[in-house]
Structure 1
Amino acid sequence: MLKELLAKDKKLSVIGLGYVGLPIALEFARKMSVIGFDIKEERVELMRQGIDPSNELEAEAFNGCDITYTSNAADLKEANFHVVAVPTPINNHNLPDLTPLLSATRAVGKALKKGDYVVFESTVYPGCTEDDCVPILEEESGLKLNIDFKVGFSPERINPGDKEHTLTKILKIVSGSDDESARVIEEVYASIITAGIHKASSIKVAEAAKIIENTQRDVNIALMNELSLIFDRMDINTFEVLEAAGTKWNFLRFFPGLVGGHCIGVDPYYLTYKANELGYHSKIITGGRFINDSMGGYVAKTVVKKMISNGNKINGAKVLIMGATFKENVSDIRNSKVADVVNELKSFSIQVDVVDPHASSDELKHEYGYGLIDKVTEKYNAVIVAVNHDEYIKLDEDYFKSIMVDEGVFVDVKGIYRNKINDLTYWSL
């Protein structure tokens, strides 16, 4: 398969051209002929112009790539090796929403031919590829797994905003439905991944490995957030405690904060869903999720208490939130917990303004019901720096004093201004 792909006798397709799919498609397209498929024609048109709709890749990333962008699923029939990289979100009840994945699987199934390969990169619970996706591929194609076609799972490890740990520099996990498929999939990915390949013993092992990467981070951050809740009652700064504890060689460096995004705040729910299905109710994972999901409301309520303590009238007070994305220096607003802060403050009849140099106001309105203001012109009763964008790190206390009332409260969620604020009432997690 690899030899034919490199000779361009066969084509590779990538289904889903978002944060995960587009970098994969472009990297393969530097060596092979690639079909890039996305259901949104407006995104496809931007990519044809060399523009990344997710604002992660520079224009140069599109140079020298043999890739055809399409929103027509029929074009997938031209490919023999398919990579599925669509989102796997959760619904309003924190349950897995497999709609995008199963829809993409049906599209691939309709295009499937004898000898083809399908590799899933979308994060799922262990067993999903073989129990949920393979039956659809067989039904739509009329073919049989490991007789007519092969499947594999190779979990994505894209970290939005990270310019150091990019696709080719991150060790890749691969797996296959049998020994032959695992070997072929390993060879194909090894053609672009310089960091190396880890071949998992089964698809389920690869699925489980991905899901616990983010579950581990989620639980550790939840511990830091719980420590913050405790230390705040003791009038101790959590970041100072972590700085001191971090002097021990084996102390793990995790910090409190608002946990959102498409991975850490989502993946654990896939694991607990499957665990519940098997009759086991997780304690630690669900406990961590509860803490992290409640932190936005906690930040907002604490701000209100601080404002009251400083003599501010709450009804009609004005609060500025700086940062709306799920993490610093990205435009991604998926599952951003800043929305929880906004909604909780508004429940107190507080006027909330939001600024962010990276986020789209239209996307925020569509997703959360609020947009961005163009520029700061008010005097605020409180300012909350919720996301540590580079543009905010250079700001000093004089700037914040200029946009706040005398009795205002300055909230530094992730502690980047610690020991730099002297005159304002200061609080951080």
Structure 2
Amino acid sequence: MYDKLVKKEAKLAVIGLGYVGLPIALEFAKKIKVIGFDINAKRVEMMKNNIDPSGELESSAFEGCDIVFTDSLDVLREAQFFIVAVPTPIDEHAMPDLKPLLAASKTVGKVLKKGDYVVYESTVYPGCTEDDCIPVLEAESGLKFPGDFKVGYSPERINPGDKEHTLTRIVKVVSGCDAESSEEIAKTYELVVEAGVHRASSIKVAEAAKIIENTQRDVNIALMNELSLIFDRLGINTYEVLEAAGTKWNFLKFSPGLVGGHCIGVDPYYLTYKAKELGYDAKVILSGRTTNDNMGAYIAKKAVKLMVKQGKDISNAKVLVMGATFKENVEDIRNSKVADVINELKTFSVNVDVVDPFADSDELHHEYGFSLVEKPGNDYDAVVVAVNHKQYLDLNEDYFKSITSENPVVMDIKGIYRNKFSSDGIQYWSL
């Protein structure tokens, strides 16, 4: 398969052209023939015009690429090597939602031919590729695995907004259903991944490796968040404590905050779901998840307490929330925990305005039920800086005075303004 791809006798297709799929498709398209497939016709048209719907890539990233963007199964049928890069979210009960993944598997199954390869990049629990996806491929195609087609797993490591750790610069974990497929898949990815590839011994090992990457971060951030709850009661600043502790050579540098997005706030639930299925309750992981999921409500309640302390009438209070995306300097609003802060504030009948230089107001309204205001007012009783976008980094005390009433509260979730407030009138707080 690798030789056919390199000689352009075969085509590679990427199914799902979001934050993960589009960068992969474009990198491969610099070397081989690629079909970029997405079910969203509007997004496909944008990409045909060199526009990244996710806002991550410049138009120049499309230049010199041998790629066809389509939502047509007839075009997709021309491919022999398929990469599935669709989202794997959780539902309202924090259970794995495999609908996008299984739908993509059905799509591939409809066009699958003898000798084809299918590689999954979507984050899943160990065993999902073989237990859930392959049966769908077989049912739709009428083919038998592994004799008629090969399957592999190579977990995505795309980090939205990160211009340093890009696809080509991150070691790629790859795996196949047998030794031959593993090697063919590895060589294919080596075409574009300059950092090299790591050949996992099995698909399950590769699946597990991906899911613990973010589970590890989640648990460590949960520890920092719990420490911040303790230190707040002690009247000391968490970031000052971490700064002091960080002088030790082997201290791991994590920080507290809102944990959202499509990875850290989601992936651990896939692992705990599988563990539960096997009869084990993942206590540490679930405890971390609970801590992190409760931080939005904690921050909102803290804001209310501080406003009361400042003599504010909560029923008439106005709060500005700065930042609505799940992390800084991206347009991505998926699983944004800022929504938890806003929803909790509204339970106290607080009037909330939201601004964000990256987020789309219509998307926020559709997903969370609130919209952005064009610009801040000048009479807020509290300001919650929830996401440290680059536009906020250089704001000073005078700016916050210009948008607030007397004796306001400024909540600096990530501590970016620490030691920058001198006025006795402003109640400053950070995690």
Query: What interval of TM-score do these two structures reach, taking the shorter chain for normalisation?
Result: over 0.9
**How far did residue 335 of structure 1 move?**
0.3
Aligned twin of 1:286: 286
Alignment of 1:43-58 (within 5 A): 43-58=43-58
Aligned twin of 1:344: 344
In structure 1, C-alpha distance between the alignment counterparts of 2:392 and 2:408, rounded to whole Å: 19
In structure 1, C-alpha distance between the alignment counterparts of 2:111 and 2:74, rounded to whole Å: 7
**How far did residue 144 of structure 1 move?**
1.3
Structure 2, gaps ≥5 residues long? none
In structure 2, C-alpha distance between the alignment counterparts of 1:147 and 1:86, rounded to whole Å: 26
Larger displacement relative to structure 2 (138-147 or 184-193): 138-147
In structure 1, C-alpha distance between the alignment counterparts of 2:73 and 2:226, rounded to whole Å: 47
Aligned twin of 1:367: 367
- Which amino acid counterpart does residue 427 of structure 1 have in structure 2? W
Alignment of 1:20-99 (within 5 A): 20-99=20-99
Return the TM-score normalized by structure 2: 0.99
Aligned twin of 1:219: 219
Larger displacement relative to structure 2 (402-411 or 124-133): 402-411
In structure 2, C-alpha distance between the alignment counterparts of 1:225 and 1:370, rounded to whole Å: 26
Partner SS, residue 382 of structure 2: strand
Partner SS, residue 78 of structure 1: coil
**How far did residue 74 of structure 1 move?**
3.0
In structure 2, C-alpha distance between the alignment counterparts of 1:338 and 1:74, rounded to whole Å: 42
In structure 1, C-alpha distance between the alignment counterparts of 2:74 and 2:297, rounded to whole Å: 46
**How far did residue 378 of structure 1 move?**
3.3
Aligned twin of 2:428: 426
CA contact (8 A) 2:327 2:387 kept: yes
Partner SS, residue 419 of structure 1: coil
Partner SS, residue 315 of structure 2: coil
**How far did residue 405 of structure 1 move?**
1.1
**How far did residue 3 of structure 1 move?**
1.8
In structure 1, C-alpha distance between the alignment counterparts of 2:54 and 2:68, rounded to whole Å: 18
In structure 2, C-alpha distance between the alignment counterparts of 1:235 and 1:301, rounded to whole Å: 17
**How far did residue 146 of structure 1 move?**
2.0
Is 1:264 the equivalent of 2:264? yes
Larger displacement relative to structure 2 (245-254 or 66-75): 66-75
Aligned twin of 1:163: 163
Aligned twin of 1:195: 195
Partner SS, residue 103 of structure 1: helix
Structure 1 runs of 4+ aligned residues shifted over 4 Å read none
Partner SS, residue 316 of structure 2: coil
**How far did residue 182 of structure 1 move?**
0.2
Is 1:381 the equivalent of 2:381? yes
In structure 2, C-alpha distance between the alignment counterparts of 1:234 and 1:392, rounded to whole Å: 29
- CA deviation map 1:324-371 (0-9, x unaligned): 000000000000000000000011111000000000000000000001
- Which amino acid counterpart does residue 208 of structure 2 have in structure 1? A
Aligned twin of 1:399: 399
In structure 2, C-alpha distance between the alignment counterparts of 1:306 and 1:412, rounded to whole Å: 13
Partner SS, residue 399 of structure 1: helix
Alignment of 1:227-376 (within 5 A): 227-376=227-376
In structure 2, C-alpha distance between the alignment counterparts of 1:422 and 1:329, rounded to whole Å: 28
- Which amino acid counterpart does residue 143 of structure 2 have in structure 1? L
Alignment of 1:96-111 (within 5 A): 96-111=96-111
- Which amino acid counterpart does residue 427 of structure 2 have in structure 1? T
In structure 1, C-alpha distance between the alignment counterparts of 2:310 and 2:377, rounded to whole Å: 22
In structure 1, C-alpha distance between the alignment counterparts of 2:44 and 2:378, rounded to whole Å: 40
Aligned length: 429
In structure 2, C-alpha distance between the alignment counterparts of 1:283 and 1:43, rounded to whole Å: 41
- Which amino acid counterpart does residue 249 of structure 2 have in structure 1? W
In structure 1, C-alpha distance between the alignment counterparts of 2:60 and 2:75, rounded to whole Å: 26
* % same residue: 69
**How far did residue 422 of structure 1 move?**
1.5
In structure 1, C-alpha distance between the alignment counterparts of 2:343 and 2:114, rounded to whole Å: 52
- Which amino acid counterpart does residue 428 of structure 1 have in structure 2? S
In structure 1, C-alpha distance between the alignment counterparts of 2:132 and 2:410, rounded to whole Å: 49
In structure 2, C-alpha distance between the alignment counterparts of 1:140 and 1:364, rounded to whole Å: 36
Partner SS, residue 294 of structure 2: helix
Partner SS, residue 357 of structure 1: coil
In structure 2, C-alpha distance between the alignment counterparts of 1:349 and 1:135, rounded to whole Å: 50
CA contact (8 A) 2:378 2:402 kept: no
**How far did residue 76 of structure 1 move?**
1.6
**How far did residue 72 of structure 1 move?**
1.5
